[in-house]
Structure 1
C-alpha cells in the first residue's frame, strides 16, 4: 500500500493523507490496517468522508486469541466488526457529547460517553486515547479496545447470559423488563451465585412482596451509562428505585467494589441501550437492612 506524505503548498495549505494512508503510516496501527485490507475495505474507506474509531495494536492483542482467529477466518464477520468502527462523515471531538449515539457503517449505533471527572472519553466503553487525527477524507480517533457489536439490549443480553438466569426470572416476576429497555442505562447485575448467597428468609420476603422486589432490583440500575472508565473512588450513583437511593463506588485491591462487599466480576458488557457489569453480591439499600434482617457484613 502506498502511503502518502503530507504535501504543503506555498500558501500553507496541506494535502493530507487519507484516513487509511495515515493508519498505514503508523506502526501502532498495523493490525488494523492488515485487517481492513483483508476485509476488502480499503477502497471504500478511501472513497468518502469517514470518522474511524481505530483500535491500536495493543487493543487487538487484548482480544481473546480465539476471537481474533475467528474474525480472521470469516471475512464477513470481520468486515462487520470493522464497519462498526466507522461512521459516515467527519465527527470531531468538539461535536461529541455525553450519550451521543452515532450510526456506524454496519447499521448499529455506538455511544459516546464523556467523563469529565476522569478526563475520559469512551466510545461504546472503549477509551479514546488520541483524538482528532485529521486526514484528507475524515478523522481518526484512536481506541484502547476493540468494539464488538452488541447482540441486543440489556434484557436480551441478560436472557442470553446463563450466569444471571436468576436475575432474569426476578425481573420478569417484578414486571420491570420494559423499564430495562429504556436508553442509557447501567445495570449492576448480580450473578446466580450472588443470589444464592442471600439467606433463604430474604429470598422468601423478596419473592412474596412484588413492591419490595421491584425496589431491590431497581437499586441495581443507574439512569445513565457508566462504563468502567467513568467510575471513580468514593463516587455515589443515584439509582432508579423510587427513593433514588445511592450506590457507593470504591476501588480496592480486588477491583471495583459497590457498597460494603459487592465486587464487579465482569465489567463493560456492552448493549444497544447501555452497559452491564456483573457483580458477586446482591445490593440492598440501607433502609431495608432491618426489614430484611440483614447484618452489615
Structure 2
C-alpha cells in the first residue's frame, strides 16, 4: 500500500467500483507463463500488449541494457511465481490503465496548450509535421525506467534526442527541456510531458513568420 500514489489510494478507499477496476486491471486471464522462459531472452516482450481481465490493455517492455521488464512502466521484480491457479508476477508499484490514445490524452490536457495550439494551426502544415514528428519517439516505447544518462532516442524526423539525468535528484531532461511528468500511459504508447516545445533546426523562423508563439 505504501507504494500506491496518494491520489490513487484516495480514489480506491471507500470506492468499491474503483477498487474492483484496479484489481481487475492487475489480473490477466491469458497464459503469460512464458515470463519464466528466459532461454530465448526477453526481447519478445518489447511492446507486447496483453489484456487485463477487464479488457484494458497492459503494455510490456523489456529494457535489456538494464535487465529490466516493465508492465505499464512499472518494474516487474519477480516473474512467474507459481500458485495453484496460475502465476503471480510481482510489481514494485501500481499499474495505471490508459485513458485514451496519445492524441486524445494530449488534447484533454489543459497544460499542453502550446503544443495543441501548434497542432491546430493552419497554413503551416510542414512546420506542424516537423515539430510533431520530433516529439514522437521511433522504435520501442520508452518509459522512464528504461532511460539512462547520456542515452540518445530516435524520433520520426530521424533526429536524435539526448537524455540527461541528475543522478542525485533523478530529474531528467530531453535536450534542453525538463521532463515534468513521466509515464502517462496511452493505448498506443507513453507520454512524457516536458516544459518546452522542442523545435527542429531551421523551423523556428517559419514559426515566427506565421505569428505563432511557442512556450
Is TM more than 0.5 here? yes
Distance 1:293 1:167 in 2: 13
Deviations 1:255-293 (A, max 9, x none): 11111x2110100011111111110122123x3278579
Report the counterpart of residue 104 of structure 1 in structure 2: 52
Give the alignment of 1:128-207 within 5 angstroms. Answer: 128-173=76-121
Report the counterpart of residue 197 of structure 1 in structure 2: none
Give the alignment of 1:77-96 within 5 angstroms. Answer: 77-92=18-33, 93=35, 94=37
Is 2:201 the counterpart of 1:278?
A: no
Deviations 1:103-137 (A, max 9, x none): 11111110100001121111011111111211121
Is there any run of 5+ residues in structure 1 with no aligned partner, and where? Answer: 1-56, 175-207
Q: For residues 270 and 290 of structure 1, do their structure 2 counterparts lie closer, same or farther at Cα, with a shift above 3 Å needed?
A: closer
Report the counterpart of residue 178 of structure 2 in structure 1: 263
Deviations 1:27-58 (A, max 9, x none): xxxxxxxxxxxxxxxxxxxxxxxxxxxxxx44
Equivalent pair of 2:133/2:156 in contact (CA under 8 Å): yes
Equivalent pair of 1:254/1:263 in contact (CA under 8 Å): no
| Cα deviation, residue 68, structure 1 | 1.5
Is 2:28 the counterpart of 1:113?
A: no
Distance 2:61 2:104 in 1: 22
Matched position secondary structure for 2:55:
coil
Distance 2:107 2:183 in 1: 17
Greater CA radius of gyration, 1 or 2? 1
Q: For residues 126 and 72 of structure 1, do their structure 2 counterparts lie closer, same or farther at Cα, with a shift above 3 Å needed?
A: same
Distance 1:70 1:121 in 2: 27
Match of 1:231 among 122, 128, 147: 147
Cα RMSD, aligned residues only: 2.3
Match of 1:245 among 149, 159, 163: 159
Distance 1:258 1:74 in 2: 38
Report the counterpart of residue 28 of structure 1 in structure 2: none
Is 2:213 the counterpart of 1:288?
A: no
Report the counterpart of residue 212 of structure 2 in structure 1: none
Distance 2:170 2:79 in 1: 32
Is there any run of 5+ residues in structure 2 with no aligned partner, and where? Answer: 209-215
Provide the TM-score with structure 1 as the length reference. Answer: 0.61
Deviations 1:144-187 (A, max 9, x none): 1111222111111112211013312322337xxxxxxxxxxxxx
Report the counterpart of residue 71 of structure 1 in structure 2: 12
Distance 1:278 1:263 in 2: 8
Q: For residues 168 and 249 of structure 1, do their structure 2 counterparts lie closer, same or farther at Cα, with a shift above 3 Å needed?
A: same
Equivalent pair of 2:127/2:203 in contact (CA under 8 Å): no
| Cα deviation, residue 76, structure 1 | 1.3
